[in-house]
Amino acid sequence: MPTVLVVDDDPDIRDIATMKLEQAGLEVVTEADGEGGLAAALELAPDALLLDWMMPRLTGIEVCSRLREHPQTARLPIILLTAKAQEADIERGFAAGATDYLVKPFSPRELVARITAVLARGTK
């Protein structure tokens, strides 16, 4: 069963994403901040990472950049989930290595569809 790591400091988002992804038959692991997310991504080698941008300790963008520098996670599908919706933000997200970008407020169904799509592409 593919594993998705969900990293968001908002417990509501973590709960909703977990419920929806589990409903779609995926295994989910959650972390509440960037540092924990980075460590979990390197340790667990998940099949996809759902990553918030604005988080304590380490931002999603920093986590994303660091994971891209690591050979083990260089090709890990990373979906940024963020309230930052400006064109420049989206550009910055992709420049940091994000595979896909979802803007908050978000549709949990769309989230599942996007994660399923990146998993199907098997870019890991």
Positions touching other proteins (CB under 8 A) are: 10, 12-13, 15-16, 19-20, 23, 65, 68, 91-92, 94-97, 104-110
Question: Min. distance of Cβ 65 from other proteins in angstroms?
Answer: 8
Question: Min. distance of Cβ 52 from other proteins in angstroms?
Answer: 12
Handedness of CA 119, 108, 3, 55 (dihedral sign): positive
* 43 vs 82, beta carbon nearer other proteins: 82
Q: Which residue has the tokens 């390197």?
A: 42
Question: Min. distance of Cβ 33 from other proteins in angstroms?
Answer: 18
What does the radius of gyration of the chain's CA atoms come to, in whole angstroms? Answer: 13
Question: Min. distance of Cβ 107 from other proteins in angstroms?
Answer: 3
* 43 vs 91, beta carbon nearer other proteins: 91
* 11 vs 43, beta carbon nearer other proteins: 11
* 21 vs 119, beta carbon nearer other proteins: 21
Residue 4: name the closest of 123, 108, 116, 121 by CA: 116
The per-residue DSSP string of 2-52 comes to -EEEEE-S-HHHHHHHHHHHHHTT-EEEEESSHHHHHHHHHHH--SEEEEE
